[in-house]
Structure 1
Amino acid sequence: MNTVASRLIHSKPSVSRLCTLAASRDARYLSTDSNKVDEPFKVEEAETVNVPPPPSDKLLVLGGNGFVGSHICKEALDRGLSVASISRSGRPSIQEAWANNVTWHQGNLLSPDSLKEALDGVSAVISCVGGFGSQSYMYKINGTANINAIRAASEKGIKRFVYISAADFGVVNYLLKGYYDGKRAAETELLTKFPYGGVILRPGFIYGTRNVGSVKLPLGVVGSPLEMVLQHAKPLSQLPLVGPLLTPPVNVTAVAKVAVRGATDPVFPPGIVDAYGIQRYTQQKSR
């Protein structure tokens, strides 16, 4: 009996080894060293090493070869998104590296069928489509074309749609009635079809370096100082007639950043974002 007891007493190292073996079978590494309390999670890290990253979201930019659209394409690419664009001219003549990373489609938004291929696999849409001309033309390009795109995206089951609209400028609205009537009609359609994922940006004058053929127009020379002055004049924008003319200009880079965030951030609130809101969101860190 004494011999058996003695063997049990002196068998502790073997018991310890058995415990260690059992623990390792449960994928846990135990240690009495207080500095290694996190070691049990090593197995979890090893298990996720070879897991591929989640697939990138695909963004469709309507009018991506224009002044605002090109900046949105670049911003989206910088964020790691897959980017496609559709416009009447298709691929632009831009000789910059980023343009090679965009899938360019040629189509006319006044013919909804031209959107079908471009919308395949798309998770969000940003529309920069707009233009000037006769009153009837302005309504078509700012209103009808965008309404067609909104309806096509909704039918495709796309969840988020950002529309670059325009701030009200008081008396100017009456001079450009077709332009503003078209914009507001598109806004109404967007809020109807995308009540939880529709974002409307209403910037005023958008400044930045604009390419006109081979000429670069540095609009920031005027726009940047005006923005600094007028961003503090928000109370004056409520004045009748002249108030809307004091809406501060917005940098095209700021518009692009907020547009891409609105299209990709699931917690970005739907609705209308004015020039002051664009400035505010630009100053916040993206999620």
Structure 2
Amino acid sequence: MSASTAAKKLVVCGGSGFLGSRICKAAVRRGWDVTSISRSGEPQWKTVTSSPTPPPWAHKVFWERADIFRPAEYVALLKGADYVVHTMGILLEADYKDVISGRESPIAGLKRAFSPAARSANPLERRGPNSTTPEFKPPTSGRQLTYEMMNRDSAILLAKEAAREHVAAFGYISAAAGAPVLPGRYITTKREAEHVIVAEFPEMRGVFFRPPFMYDSSRPFTLPIAAAATALDTVIGPFKGKLGGLDTLLGAAALRPLKVDLVAEAVVEGLADEHVKGVVEDVRDFNELESRSLAKAPNFS
């Protein structure tokens, strides 16, 4: 294979997750070399698909373990990458292990999310003892995972390392809007990440994907939420932008949801197309990018 036809290399940070695993799948379908970085390595397949066994395409992905807050663990994996995408983030500032195990109630997690939290500075502005290296201490427990750390700081730190490796394009999975049940910091930290990445790394093409709510039959609880959001979008669609504060209050709850595989295909195509830059938010843009992506390689499951 010549240099001009060499497969593109994609690194997906958070590739073991709901959307991240499907971005890996879409990139494999395009014939790309794909590396996933996450703390768990290979996904727990029953949590991201309808089967506990890995699908055939998964054997073509390099599933690597690393902590995004410890660049030394993964910087070598970024070498030679054409594209890097950050798919990590949290909806609530809760220790999910404690919630699942029963040591903490979901109500306690919600209270913590809406309580005042310490704001952390841009990690690029925190300097270590040598005054040149950003200082950042990795979290030691789930209780330390804040919106600032997961939605913003982790993306900025990854973008910094990607820019250092001269990666052509950096994708960030942001969000179209907040929601009535989420603190405002959920969306403001994502917007802060977008702003800092554009300002600090102008030589690297940044693509900020802002999908609405994503659903899939492998996660049955997402289906009724998607159905309700679709119905609401149908009813108030003609009045969007004219409802004043209600538009802001409803946020993503009033946006037509998208199937997670569609978003994944759109992300891959957006990274591949050098003309796609900045924010990708309109549902029509996601649909167009997905259509273009599907036309470039045969489908498979």
User: Which residue in 1 is equivalent to 2:5?
Assistant: 54
Q: Give the aligned residue type for 1:55.
A: A
User: Which residue in 1 is equivalent to 2:16?
Assistant: 65
Pick aligned residue for 2:76 from 114, 117, 120: 117
1:119-138 alignment, distance < 5 Å: 119-131=78-90, 132-133=92-93, 134-135=112-113, 137-138=146-147
CA RMSD between the two structures: 2.7
Asked if residue 160 in structure 1 is aligned to residue 169 in structure 2, the reply is yes
Matched length: 230
Q: Give the aligned residue type for 1:274.
A: E
Preserved contact between residue 170 and residue 242 of structure 1 (Cα < 8 Å): no
Change beyond 3 A, Cα 1:84–1:51: closer
Asked if residue 147 in structure 1 is aligned to residue 156 in structure 2, the reply is yes
Change beyond 3 A, Cα 1:116–1:276: same
Q: Give the aligned residue type for 1:106.
A: R
- 1:198 is paired with a residue whose SS is strand
1:200-279 alignment, distance < 5 Å: 200-210=208-218, 216-217=219-220, 219-220=222-223, 222-223=225-226, 226-227=229-230, 230=233, 233-238=236-241, 239-243=243-247, 244=251, 245-267=253-275, 269-279=276-286
The structural deviation recorded for 1:188 is: 0.9
Rg larger in structure = 1
Aligned mates of 1:59, 1:109 — CA distance in 2: 16
Superposed CA deviations along residues 141-195 of structure 1, whole A, max 9, x for unmatched, are: 11111110011111111010111111223655xx423322321121112222246
User: Which residue in 2 is equivalent to 1:106?
Assistant: 65
Aligned mates of 1:203, 1:176 — CA distance in 2: 18
Change beyond 3 A, Cα 1:58–1:232: farther
Aligned mates of 2:149, 2:63 — CA distance in 1: 23
The structural deviation recorded for 1:226 is: 4.2
Aligned mates of 1:150, 1:185 — CA distance in 2: 13
The structural deviation recorded for 1:281 is: 2.1
Pick aligned residue for 1:285 from 283, 288, 292: 292
Superposed CA deviations along residues 184-243 of structure 1, whole A, max 9, x for unmatched, are: 121112222246621111112111134xxxxx5263455257447726854433122322
Aligned mates of 1:85, 1:231 — CA distance in 2: 37
Aligned mates of 2:267, 2:290 — CA distance in 1: 14
Which runs of 5 or more structure 2 residues have no equivalent in the other structure?
46-52, 94-111, 118-145, 297-301
Superposed CA deviations along residues 111-147 of structure 1, whole A, max 9, x for unmatched, are: 2222312202211011111012155512211111111
Preserved contact between residue 232 and residue 254 of structure 2 (Cα < 8 Å): no
Aligned mates of 1:88, 1:187 — CA distance in 2: 24
Q: Which moves more between the two structures, 107-116 or 159-168?
A: 107-116
The structural deviation recorded for 1:278 is: 4.0
TM-score w.r.t. the length of structure 2 is 0.68
Q: Which moves more between the two structures, 233-242 or 141-150?
A: 233-242
Change beyond 3 A, Cα 1:150–1:76: same
User: Which residue in 2 is equivalent to 1:33?
Assistant: none
Q: Give the aligned residue type for 1:100.
A: H
TM-score w.r.t. the length of structure 1 is 0.71
Change beyond 3 A, Cα 1:272–1:105: same
Identity of aligned residues (%): 29
Aligned mates of 1:195, 1:271 — CA distance in 2: 13
- 2:156 is paired with a residue whose SS is helix
Asked if residue 89 in structure 1 is aligned to residue 40 in structure 2, the reply is yes
Q: Give the aligned residue type for 2:34.
A: V
- 1:90 is paired with a residue whose SS is coil
Aligned mates of 1:72, 1:125 — CA distance in 2: 11
Change beyond 3 A, Cα 1:114–1:142: same
The structural deviation recorded for 1:75 is: 0.8
Higher relative contact order (CA 8 A, sep 6+): 2
Change beyond 3 A, Cα 1:168–1:53: closer
